[in-house]
Structure 1
Amino acid sequence: MLSNLSIKNYALIDALEVSFHTGFTVITGETGAGKSILLGGLALVLGKRADLGSLRDKERKCIVEAAFKITKYRLRPFFEQNDLDYEDETILRREIHPSGKSRAFINDSPVTLSILSALGERLIDVHSQHQTLRLTENEFQLKVIDALADNKQNLQAYGTELKAFRDTEKRLQQLIATQKEANKEKDYDSFLLQELETAALSEGMQEALESEQQKLSNVETILEYFANGYQLLSDDQLGIMSAVTQLTQLSGKLADFGEKYENLHQRIQSVHIEMEDIASEWESLKDTTEADPERLEQLNGQLQLLYDLLRKHDVQNVNDLLSVQEALSQKVGDTANLEVEIAEKEALLAAQKETLEAKASIISQKRTRAIPILDKELSEVLSSLGMPSATFKMELTPAANFKETGKDDLAFLFSANKGVGYGELKKVASGGELSRIMLTIKAVLARYEQLPTMMFDEIDTGVSGEISNKMGDIMKAMSNHMQVFSITHLPQVASKGDAHFKVFKEEIGETTHTKLKQLQQEERVSELAEMLGGKVLTDSAMAHARQLLD
């Protein structure tokens, strides 16, 4: 409930602070006295967009604070989700600076305007002409039926399942889109992969092929070099091997004359052995080197394919080509895996849909049972509000798709008079009728769920006499379950209040101020008498006012 409201430097309000209590509070005042200013200040602290023009003194900031006792609203999860300190008496504060900057606080913690607004909606419901139009929206109509049907937990379970269903549906659509795109490239990717696999790529392959190709391309020159070298090595007269053999023999004879000669002889022997090995390998290479035109042609083909692949994929070496091949293999494999994942998601979606259907069916069944109860209660109350022939026609039909509210389409039709066909509320009900219907619905809701503080802004406009008296009774009855405010021009409604505040203007010097005052018993009598008969307080008006209060 709203326990305290403080407004500073807003419109015609310089400074205002007022405390409120439980029950039914009425607010009265002449037209133009500033009731809308009071509501405007309250709207700011509930998250409405700020307007610099609302600052009374353009050099000072505007501050609006509202304290709420929130123990019974079960709002701890909201505070935890938004990382806020929970207090049984929570203070919402809004500051509008002359620079245009706006700041919002909950229990002195800075918050965004959206968080302030979200909490404000849970704490106070300001009923205005705009809010009355919500009555014509299917979502609000279903909310009313669900309150009577006790569908809160069923809707929560349904909502959790719906989110999972939509997540799966979204993922399935993404997979199908990916598969569609992948299928466009699949054939070409498979061709590229096969081309690379046919090339039988391996690390170091290019260097090996180029080396062998270079040898076979120059085989005649190589054989000529081998022949010349072989002659140098093996010629009987001038060959290297003949000379080294003779040198070895001479050094062997010198070895007998000392250690130094022996060492030299051993070194020459080592050279002799090495030269014999070189000569043997030289001869072997010479004998195994031969022209091979077929192999050369094969090598040229392999290298040409390799060079073509390097250019085609715009890479520098075989290792890069191997990376391309791995990526293509993964891509082609992923395309095949998509089919498996799509099948899995389709099966999951079908199971989730079956669960959703079952949960939606429970919600629909409970709604169907609640509709006659709501119809009866609304008709009875509206009859007492001067609409004795008002009837409703509420019908549920299965919706084509799952909605946030279940799987129902609701026809919420209304007829104000006998013999007149049913039609949509927004088309057949007048503004006054809509206001009375909304008051009736809020009264019904108050008995079935915990509603926030309710503030009715001239909901009784256009009615008088016994009907206004009954509207006051309804709001008074609602206040047994919740805190209710009514801004009213009707003395019959104002007399029902547990507390009565008056909004008025006061001129101080050259400036006008909007004030709010709680009226005591005799002051209430005078205010009601003025509402009944005008500024001149007659004895009959005063007597009528006392009668209303009694």
Structure 2
Amino acid sequence: MLNQLSIQNYALIDALEVHFNQGFTTITGETGAGKSILLGGLSLVLGKRADLSALKENSRKCVIEAQFGIAGYGLQPFFKVNDLDYEPQTILRREILPSGKSRAFINDTPVTLQILSSLGSRLVDVHSQHQTMQLTENEFQFRVLDALADNGKLLQDYTINLQEFKKVEKSLNSLLDKKANTLKELDYNTFLLEELEKVTLRSGMLEALEEEQEQLSNVEDIMLLLSQSDQLLNEEQIGLLASLNGLQQAFQRLKGFGQSYASLNERIQAVRIELDDIRGELDTLKDGVEADPQRLEEVNGVLQQLNDLFKKHQTDSVEGLMAIKETLSDKVAISITIDSDIEAHEQQQEKIRLQLEKLASEIRSRRKAVIPELKKSLHERMSSLGMAAAQFKVEIQEASDFKPNGKDNLSFLFSANKGSSFGALKKVASGGELSRIMLTIKSILAKYEQLPTLMFDEIDTGVSGEISNKMGDIMQEMGESMQVFSITHLPQVAAKGASQFKVFKTVEGNTTATGMRLLTKEERVQELAEMLGGKNLTDSALAHAKQLLG
């Protein structure tokens, strides 16, 4: 509920601070006193856009602040999502600077105008004869039916399932698109994969093949050089091993003449061992080297295949070809396994669809069940508001697809007079009729859900005294369970309020200002008397005013 409203430097208001109570509050004042200014200031703090014309004095900033008690509104998730500090007593503030810049705050935290407006719409609901189009919107009409049908939990479950249904549907469509694209490329990818599979790819094979090719291409030179090396080692007279024998024998005798000779002898022995090892490896190499034109042809063929594949796949390494082969293998495998993935998604989607159908059917049944009750309540209340002939036709038909709030099409038709054909509210109902219908529906809704503070702005304009009295009764009844405001010119409505505020205008010198204050019981009598008979108070007007106040 709105506990306090503070306005500084806005339009004709220099400084104003008022406190409000729970229940039904009426706001009165002469035409032009500034009731619309007050509503305008409240609208700004609820998120309406503003400009410099809002400033009373262009040299000072405009500050509007409203304090709300929100403990019963279930708004904790809103504050969490928007990273705001939740306070049971929450303060909304709007500042308009002389530069024209506007700032918004929730509990002293800067917020965007969108966030302020989103919270504001949950705290105050403003209605006037020109702001009843919400009544003609299908979404609002569904909300009324669902409130009476107590569909809250069902709709919550339906929403969760619908979100999951759309998520699976999106994944399924993605798989179907992927399959279509994969099938287009399957033949080509399979061909490329088979081509790569003809070569046994392994890391380091290119270097090994190039080395083998080099050896096979130069086998005669290798054999000649190996033969010459063998002669240098093994020649009986001048070979390295024969020469080393004499050196070895000499140092076998010298080693006994000192440590330096002994050290050299050890090194000579090591050289002999190394040369013997080299001779053994040389013999092995000689035995292994032979001309093999067939193998050379095979190696050249594999190298040519690799070079062709390098060019085709724009890579320069066997490792690159191996990575491409793996990618192609995955693509071909996907085309083979994607059908099973699609089938799994289709089964999951069908399971969720059946659950949605079940929930939607139950929601529809409960909606249909409360239509007679809604029509009866509307007819009874509309009759008391001077529209005894008013009739409503509410019909629900199953829709072809799932909607955000079920699977229904709702037809909410109205006829103001007997014999008149039914039509959509926005086409056949006048502004005054829409106001009375909206008041009636809000009064019904108030019994089933927690409504925000309601602000009725002269919705009783143009109605008779008796009807306005009934409208006042309805707002008074609503005030027993919630906070309701009515800006009114009618004394019959004004008297119904648990409290009454008067908006007035003062002139000091060349300055005009708008103010607002809570009336005492005696002041209410005088205010109502003036509303009944004008400034010249008569005993009958005063008596009538007292009678209205009970």
Q: TM-score scaled by structure 1?
A: 0.90
Q: Which runs of 5+ in 2 are unaligned?
A: none
Instruction: Tell me how far 1:135 sits from its aligned partner.
Output: 0.7
Identity of aligned residues (%): 60
The 5 A counterparts of 1:109-258 are: 109-230=109-230, 232=232, 240=239, 244-245=241-242, 248=245, 252=249, 255=252
| Structure 2 Cα separation of the partners of residues 197 and 48 of structure 1 | 69
Number of the residue aligned with 1:519: 519
| Structure 2 Cα separation of the partners of residues 229 and 257 of structure 1 | 31
Is 1:447 the counterpart of 2:444? The answer is no
8 Å CA contact 1:504, 1:516 repeated in 2: yes
Going from structure 1 to structure 2, the CA distance change for 1:272 and 1:452 (only over 3 Å counts) comes to closer
Number of the residue aligned with 1:457: 457
Q: Which amino acid aligns with 2:239?
A: I
Number of the residue aligned with 2:311: 311
Question: Which string of whole-angstrom CA distances, capped at 9 and with x for unpartnered residues, describes residues 375-404 of structure 1?
Answer: 011011111212111111101111111112
8 Å CA contact 2:235, 2:242 repeated in 1: no
| Structure 1 Cα separation of the partners of residues 440 and 223 of structure 2 | 113
The 5 A counterparts of 1:353-372 are: 353-372=353-372
| Structure 2 Cα separation of the partners of residues 254 and 132 of structure 1 | 122
| Structure 1 Cα separation of the partners of residues 312 and 253 of structure 2 | 73
Number of the residue aligned with 1:419: 419
Q: Secondary structure at the match of 2:132?
A: helix
| Structure 2 Cα separation of the partners of residues 385 and 25 of structure 1 | 20
8 Å CA contact 1:310, 1:316 repeated in 2: yes
| Structure 2 Cα separation of the partners of residues 68 and 435 of structure 1 | 26
| Structure 2 Cα separation of the partners of residues 250 and 472 of structure 1 | 133
Instruction: Tell which deviates more after alignment, 39-48 or 256-265.
Output: 256-265
Going from structure 1 to structure 2, the CA distance change for 1:151 and 1:232 (only over 3 Å counts) comes to closer
Aligned Cα root-mean-square deviation (Å): 2.8
Q: Secondary structure at the match of 1:447?
A: coil
8 Å CA contact 2:233, 2:279 repeated in 1: yes
8 Å CA contact 1:231, 1:239 repeated in 2: no
Going from structure 1 to structure 2, the CA distance change for 1:284 and 1:149 (only over 3 Å counts) comes to closer
Number of the residue aligned with 2:54: 54
Going from structure 1 to structure 2, the CA distance change for 1:12 and 1:338 (only over 3 Å counts) comes to farther
8 Å CA contact 1:5, 1:65 repeated in 2: yes
Instruction: Tell me how far 1:535 sits from its aligned partner.
Output: 4.5
Instruction: Tell which deviates more after alignment, 520-529 or 339-348.
Output: 520-529
Number of the residue aligned with 1:380: 380
Question: Which string of whole-angstrom CA distances, capped at 9 and with x for unpartnered residues, describes residues 247-268 of structure 1?
Answer: 6258637855773688877766
Question: Which string of whole-angstrom CA distances, capped at 9 and with x for unpartnered residues, describes residues 463-522 of structure 1?
Answer: 123222221222122212212111112222222222222222212222211111223344
Instruction: Tell me how far 1:306 sits from its aligned partner.
Output: 1.2
Is 1:549 the counterpart of 2:546? The answer is no
Q: Which amino acid aligns with 2:504?
A: F
| Structure 2 Cα separation of the partners of residues 124 and 345 of structure 1 | 45
Number of the residue aligned with 2:72: 72
Q: Which amino acid aligns with 1:364?
A: R
Instruction: Tell which deviates more after alignment, 502-511 or 135-144.
Output: 502-511
| Structure 2 Cα separation of the partners of residues 498 and 246 of structure 1 | 131
| Structure 2 Cα separation of the partners of residues 413 and 62 of structure 1 | 45
Q: Secondary structure at the match of 2:66?
A: strand
Instruction: Tell me how far 1:346 sits from its aligned partner.
Output: 1.6
| Structure 1 Cα separation of the partners of residues 255 and 428 of structure 2 | 137
Going from structure 1 to structure 2, the CA distance change for 1:68 and 1:233 (only over 3 Å counts) comes to closer
| Structure 2 Cα separation of the partners of residues 267 and 452 of structure 1 | 104
Q: Which runs of 5+ in 1 are unaligned?
A: none
Number of the residue aligned with 1:397: 397
The 5 A counterparts of 1:485-496 are: 485-496=485-496
Going from structure 1 to structure 2, the CA distance change for 1:522 and 1:223 (only over 3 Å counts) comes to same
Q: Which amino acid aligns with 1:144?
A: V
8 Å CA contact 2:128, 2:435 repeated in 1: no
8 Å CA contact 1:248, 1:265 repeated in 2: no
Going from structure 1 to structure 2, the CA distance change for 1:337 and 1:12 (only over 3 Å counts) comes to farther
Is 1:259 the counterpart of 2:245? The answer is no
Aligned residues: 547
Instruction: Tell which deviates more after alignment, 201-210 or 501-510.
Output: 501-510
Going from structure 1 to structure 2, the CA distance change for 1:456 and 1:240 (only over 3 Å counts) comes to same
8 Å CA contact 1:124, 1:454 repeated in 2: yes
Instruction: Tell which deviates more after alignment, 189-198 or 468-477.
Output: 189-198
Q: Which amino acid aligns with 2:451?
A: L
| Structure 2 Cα separation of the partners of residues 183 and 494 of structure 1 | 75
Going from structure 1 to structure 2, the CA distance change for 1:268 and 1:167 (only over 3 Å counts) comes to closer
Q: Which amino acid aligns with 2:125?
A: D
Q: TM-score scaled by structure 2?
A: 0.90
The 5 A counterparts of 1:286-301 are: 286-301=286-301
8 Å CA contact 1:234, 1:240 repeated in 2: yes
Instruction: Tell me how far 1:35 sits from its aligned partner.
Output: 1.4
Instruction: Tell me how far 1:45 sits from its aligned partner.
Output: 1.7
Q: Secondary structure at the match of 1:135?
A: helix
Question: Which string of whole-angstrom CA distances, capped at 9 and with x for unpartnered residues, describes residues 26-55 of structure 1?
Answer: 112233221111111111222222323212
Going from structure 1 to structure 2, the CA distance change for 1:4 and 1:268 (only over 3 Å counts) comes to closer
| Structure 1 Cα separation of the partners of residues 252 and 152 of structure 2 | 115
Going from structure 1 to structure 2, the CA distance change for 1:35 and 1:220 (only over 3 Å counts) comes to same
Instruction: Tell me how far 1:534 sits from its aligned partner.
Output: 4.2
Instruction: Tell me how far 1:287 sits from its aligned partner.
Output: 4.7
